[in-house]
Each structure stands twice: as C-alpha cells, then as structure tokens.
Amino acid sequence: MKRNQISLLALTALLAAPACADDAALREQAKGLFEVIPMQAPQLADNNAVTRDKIDLGAKLFFDPRMSKSGVFSCQSCHNVGMGGVDGLETSIGHGWQKGPRNAPTALNAVFNIAQFWDGRAPDLAAQAKGPVQAGVEMNNTADNLVATVKSMPGYVEAFAKAFPGQSDPVSFDNFALAVEAFEATLITPNSKFDQWLTGSDSAMSEDEKAGLKLFIDTGCASCHNGINIGGNGYYPFGVVEAPGAEILPAGDTGRFKVTKTASDEYVFRAGPLRNIALTAPYFHSGKVWDLKEAVSVMANSQLGAKLEDKQLDQIVAFLGTLTGEQPEVMHPILPARTTETPKPVQMN
C-alpha cells in the first residue's frame, strides 16, 4: 500500500473517531429518556388478551359507520389509519356536521399513552372507544342502539362469540370496546430511523437529525416529550413561560380541569406524543398550527422560554421526521350484512 493511501486511511479514521464517540454519548443520553417501539402489539394494561379473533372483530367495528346513529361516521372517520391515524382537520366533523371542540389525536401508538384524550379522561383505549360513540357531537349513538345493531347481524354475533368464547351473552358494549382496543393495540409504528439509531445504527440518522435530537434534549423538549411515545405520558400546562395567543390557544378550553376540577389543572393537557408527528398536522389540541416548524417554535417560546434560531428549528424538525415509523397496513375488512332487524340510520338534520 502506498504511503499516501495509508495517510488517507489514517486521516479518515481520525475524522470518524469523534463522530462515533459523539454518537455513543448522545445515544447513552437518549436511552435514559426514550424507548424503542416494539415490533409487536404489547400486552394491554387492563389484561384484555389480544387474540386474532378479537383483533379481526375490532377491525370490523373500527371501520363500520353503522356504529354511529346516522350510519355515516366510524372510528376510521376521525382516526384514519392511512393518514397517520388522524383526519387532517383542525377539529373533527361529527353528527349533524358539527365541529368537535378539539383536534383528533392519532390512533397510532395510542396504546403507549398514559391515558386517552387530550385531558386524559379515559384510562385506556377501551374506555376511549366508548366516548365518541355516545358523544352527541361525534357518533351520537347509545350503547343500547349499538348493541341492537350488532345483534341484528349474524356475522357480528358469530364474530363476538369467537372473540369472547365461553360467555353466555358476548355481544355487549363492554366487549365492543375491548375488541376495538385489541385492534388499536396493533396500530403501532416500529422501526423508525430514530429507533434504528437508538439500537445502534449510527448511519440511520443524518448529522442534522442527530443535532436536532441533541437540541431537543438540551433545550428541554424531552422533559415533557419522553418515553416510548416521545410524549403522551404526562400532563403539563400550555404556556408555562408565555401563553400563546388566542389564535393558537382559544379561550374556554380549560383542559384537564374539566376532568379533575382541580384549580392547578386549568389549561393543563397531556403532552402530545410525537411519534409520526410529521404526518399528523395540524398541531396542538386546538389544531390551529399547520406547520411543524412553527409548532416547534411556539412550544420553545411558550413552554421553555427559548428563542431558537432558524437553523436550530430546522434541525429539531429534521429529528422529529425520524420518528415516523413503519405504518400499519390494514386492509379494509368486509363487514357483516345488515338484516331487516338492523336499526335504520337516523338522518342528520
């Protein structure tokens, strides 16, 4: 080997060494704050066994608009699994074309959240599944009407019996919720660039993306957005340092206070999970911000009192882009046929 070739190899190794050391140090720091999305659905906290029969039933119920009183809206309407688990609207449209009060959170990776909804009023996905069904501004149905609808279709009766074997009356509102929960538990997005990097692949993230991760940690973003879902596991006031303007934080929505009736919970919300955040605009519970870079700037100013430079914002946005994982490929299920006994949809005014 020629001397200049040896020198070139030595120089390359010298230049590479600090980068590897930096990667190792940053990875060690990140491992203390974040976790990797698993490749399979986790065991549910409420001991709802995730079986194939239950998942298949839950998928049917998730996609079936007949679970709404009008026959127009399904869970999929607001949590579109082909669009990052959201509907891409400021706030969702429900029964009677009413606008909901808050932006629809993503259903993807929701199983990893500490609780469901922006205010955490549902402890798990099963409890969450019951809410929109009965909300007048959403699906505007009742538990009794939903059960009557399901029981009128032999295909559903058979599917419930398979999903909940041994029960004398398996078609119930509780079992509806458990089946939807089991399906939603499968809506996870593993193998993101960040997860690949966190498990040891230095080349999975670019230098700008790594710089963005370091800024995300050092600026303080990770104090609220951490854990497996990079958020979704704690409650914080919106506007710790400086309340954002009314164009972002409309007056009247007092957040978790509506649940706890505790004064210290006024304008407190669950920290939004940041997995797949590049896919889920618009942002915040109000859905008022459509640009991710603007959302980062708002949070830096309002929550941390940090005035980030343009390049720093770009780097954090670059890092957030690495949180997009493999999207679940869900085939729209064939739904059981209605019968003459199936309650007719109620026309919307």
Annotated binding residues for heme c: 75, 78-79, 95, 221, 224-225, 299
Residue numbers in the known binding site are 75, 78-79, 95, 221, 224-225, 299
SS3 assignment, position 33: coil
Helix, strand counts (H, E) of the chain: 12, 4
- Residue 268 gets which letter from DSSP? E
Contact 288, 247 (CB under 8 A): yes
Secondary element (H or E) of residue 99: strand 98-99
Q: Which two tokens stand for residue 123?
A: 């402890």
Is there a catalytic annotation at residue 138? yes
Query: What is d(CA 97, CA 162) in angstroms, rounded to the nearest whole number?
Result: 36
What torsion, rounded to 10 degrees, do the Cα atoms 41, 287, 102, 173 define?
-30
CA-nearest of 267, 262, 275, 259 to 236 is 267
Rounded to 5 degrees, what are φ and ψ at 270? -70, 135
Contact 119, 269 (CB under 8 A): yes
Q: Scan for tokens 């200049």, then name that residue.
A: 4
Residues ≥6 apart with Cβ < 8 Å to 81? 107, 108, 187, 327, 328, 330
CA distances from 165 to 158, 318, 325 (A): 10, 48, 34
138, 181, 184, 209: the active-site residue: 138
Query: What is d(CA 268, CA 119) in angstroms, rounded to the nearest whole number?
Result: 8
Q: Is 200 exposed, middle or buried (0-12, 13-18, 19+ CB in 10 A)?
A: exposed
First-residue to last-residue Cα distance in the chain: 83
Catalytic center residues = 138
